[in-house]
Structure 1
Amino acid sequence: MRYTEDDLKDKTILITGGAGFIGSNLAFYFQENHPDAKVVVLDSFRSGETLSNGNLKSFGHFKNLIGFSGEIISGDINDKDLLLDLEVNYDFDYIFHEAAISDTTAQEQDLMIKTNVNAYKDLLDLAVAHNANMIYASSAATYGNAESPQRVGREAPNNVYGFSKLSMDHLSREYMKECDINIVGLRYFNVYGAREYFKNTTASMVLQFGHQILAGKNPRLFEGSDKILRDFIYIEDIIQANIKAMAPNTSGIYNVGTGKARSFQDIVDILQKELGTSLECEYIPNPFIGSYQFHTEADIATTKEALGYAPAYEMEEGIKAYVPEIKRIYETEVK
């Protein structure tokens, strides 16, 4: 199902985490394709606050929203007064929930559960109160080291982030049984594309390798990177899945990937082709053996069937489309 401008005319859309990677891309999708919809972005934005691993607590950045003309609210989804204000003063038709502590290496179990699970329940209650459809970000981290291809129902999270996302999925299923609203959980695999730069060290290796190459540095890969395979998915296909999840009677938990596993070596080789370089790769020991996913591949059969989703970008096409933005970010933010 593809929404026309008229379908979303005068509809109100809330995007939590809307200054982050995927949330900001959604905000611009609606602005460009549905100018008569009211889009409200909620994000905690970044401060100097860090987690114990040294990474920022929030990756939201104003530069991801330059050019966005909708309403912007700075706030934390853990703030119950804020959520009450949203319930009383707005009337949402759709909620896209992208806000989370998304750092898979974060050790703060209390903050992770509070933010990713407890606050999500409050947002589900907001959706029920407004009779709004809920589309939320789950994650392939729910699978941990589960055998490929990863299928819904075969979860084995090995960090608190994956556990929190699986807990969100369990909670969603309970609400699906009891409530009339449409609830769709999308388990994103390895996403890359525009507006990810401000995720810093947690940005995709597509971007990180791209900037290494542009700096004239030899790409640094783990030994055996031709055998470390992941399901890498371009941001445009993530947006496609979210829009298709707006259709009625689609409640469920779905994988969003390409259904094809590709190697980190493939990323470097494609980037070098697109950038016209032939730098020699440096191979370093992998310090994460034992706590590292060596193969992810989304089973997307039910996603195709239920949502009508079909990935449009092979890795070659996705990286080719992304390279101009990789170059722009390098020139404006890195050099």
Structure 2
Amino acid sequence: MIVVTGAAGFIGSCMISRLNQDNFNHIIAVDDFSFPEKNKNLEDKTILEKVEREEFFEWLDKNHLEVEFIFHLGARTSTAEFNRDILAHLNTEYTKKMWEATIKYAIPLVYASSAATYGLGELGYEDSEEIIPNLKPLNPYGESKNDFDIWALQQERKPMFWAGLKFFNVYGPNEFHKERMASVVFHAFNQIGKTNAMKLFKSHNPDYKDGEQQRDFVYVKDVVEMMMFLMHDRKSEHSGIYNVGTGEARTFLDLTKATFKAMGIEENISYIPTPEDIRDKYQYFTEATMEKIRKIGYDKPFTSLEDGVEDYVKNYLMSTKRY
């Protein structure tokens, strides 16, 4: 059995699809299954059993001998969530329980951290574990993820293999339910579809022209390939915290132009002021350093932004198909 938490969510459901492609069909899907729109992501997936999030550890106590690997991808992922009790429970304390259970039962673990831990990037975007205690996330979500990374690194007892993954700007199918937190590609597709135009934030930084703010946009199909690699590799000496991006920052203008092209609509791009309440915390540049996972043997190329957007738009967004 392979456990995937956050199974009905964006990355979790894509991970299950990728596992199914390689005939890993004894999947234990863990989530809060009370959201109908999210549950659509699990249609046509091969799953052995669904387990409610708050009942999982009781289930694991009874079934741990059959569990081969755990992908802990479930979390409260909203950067607009300011209820620290919710974030502490779902993102920090729940993951501590997962960590301790995987030690107890000798199960390898991959868990979701976040590039939100890097804050404004004052210390760069290198996945060095030495800088983690000094990072300054910009919101409680990022803090909750960094709090767990710090805690994990302090532990003397660790899982037989473990990896914390700092996801950068992931986009791709199965994010229909994420609403405001969905990727810029998703929002661009919907805005262009309704208005034949796209509004981007103006730059309030003299070093960047309007629309040339940059992010490391990574296609979800590349993300799941990296996780598949870690599952098969799972060497104890390769345990640690890894960036999950492409290593190449691209502009919002590049992304928007790629979306217009994939939709077959003539470009019509204008700019609006960045809202004042987020202007002082707005990131103008993020770019993952990817040498660490390359050094342990991950050698697949990353999907270009243009190819990823084209696949996402034409094969998923235009048909509301799931991956």
Q: Same fold (TM over 0.5)?
A: yes
Deviations 1:178-222 (A, max 9, x none): 235101011000000010111111110101101222224311111
Corresponding residue number in structure 2 for 1:18: 7
CA distance in 1 between counterparts of 2:136 and 2:253 reads 27
CA distance in 2 between counterparts of 1:311 and 1:257 reads 11
Corresponding residue number in structure 1 for 2:46: 69
Query: Pairwise CA RMSD of aligned residues?
Result: 2.0
TM-score, normalised by the number of residues in structure 1: 0.85
The question of 1:254 aligning with 2:242 is answered yes
Runs of 4+ in 1 over 3 A off after TM superposition: none
Deviations 1:50-79 (A, max 9, x none): xxxxxxxxx971110110121342523xx3
Question: Where does the alignment leave 5 or more consecutive residues of structure 2 unmatched?
Answer: 204-209
Corresponding residue number in structure 2 for 1:6: none
The answer to which of 19-28 and 165-174 deviates more is 165-174
The answer to which of 121-130 and 61-70 deviates more is 121-130
The question of 1:159 aligning with 2:139 is answered yes
The question of 1:186 aligning with 2:162 is answered no
Corresponding residue number in structure 2 for 1:117: 92
Post-superposition offset of 1:295: 0.8
Corresponding residue number in structure 1 for 2:207: none
Post-superposition offset of 1:174: 3.5
CA distance in 2 between counterparts of 1:120 and 1:75 reads 15
* 3-state SS, counterpart of residue 187 of structure 1: strand
Aligned partner letter, 1:326: L
CA distance in 2 between counterparts of 1:272 and 1:60 reads 27
Contact 1:254 1:302 in 2 (8 A): yes
Closer, same or farther: CA 223–14 of 1 in aligned 2, 3 Å: same
The answer to which of 281-290 and 148-157 deviates more is 148-157
Closer, same or farther: CA 309–186 of 1 in aligned 2, 3 Å: farther
CA distance in 1 between counterparts of 2:256 and 2:34 reads 31
Aligned partner letter, 2:215: R
* Residue 216 (structure 2) aligned to one of 218, 225, 231: 231
Closer, same or farther: CA 231–107 of 1 in aligned 2, 3 Å: same
* 3-state SS, counterpart of residue 302 of structure 2: coil
Contact 1:116 1:164 in 2 (8 A): yes
Deviations 1:274-318 (A, max 9, x none): 222114222111012102111101111112112525442110111
Contact 2:196 2:265 in 1 (8 A): no
Post-superposition offset of 1:226: 2.3
Deviations 1:35-94 (A, max 9, x none): 4x52110010345xxxxxxxxxxx971110110121342523xx3x54123222343110
Closer, same or farther: CA 135–262 of 1 in aligned 2, 3 Å: same
CA distance in 2 between counterparts of 1:46 and 1:291 reads 33
Corresponding residue number in structure 2 for 1:301: 291
The answer to which of 210-219 and 312-321 deviates more is 210-219
Contact 2:6 2:12 in 1 (8 A): yes
Aligned partner letter, 2:319: R
* Residue 208 (structure 1) aligned to one of 187, 200, 206: 187
Contact 2:28 2:51 in 1 (8 A): no
Corresponding residue number in structure 1 for 2:319: 328
Question: Where does the alignment leave 5 or more consecutive residues of structure 1 unmatched?
Answer: 1-11, 48-58
The question of 1:244 aligning with 2:244 is answered no
Deviations 1:95-142 (A, max 9, x none): 000110100110101110111111111111221222111001110000
Query: What is the percent sequence identity of the aligned residues?
Result: 30
1:77-226 aligned at under 5 Å gives the runs 79=54, 82-91=56-65, 92-147=67-122, 149-152=124-127, 153=131, 155-175=135-155, 177-179=156-158, 181-224=160-203, 225-226=210-211
Deviations 1:221-276 (A, max 9, x none): 11134221110000111001111112123200011111111111111111112222
CA distance in 1 between counterparts of 2:146 and 2:68 reads 25
Closer, same or farther: CA 60–252 of 1 in aligned 2, 3 Å: farther
The answer to which of 293-302 and 217-226 deviates more is 217-226
The answer to which of 262-271 and 152-161 deviates more is 152-161
Corresponding residue number in structure 2 for 1:7: none
Q: How many residues align?
A: 304
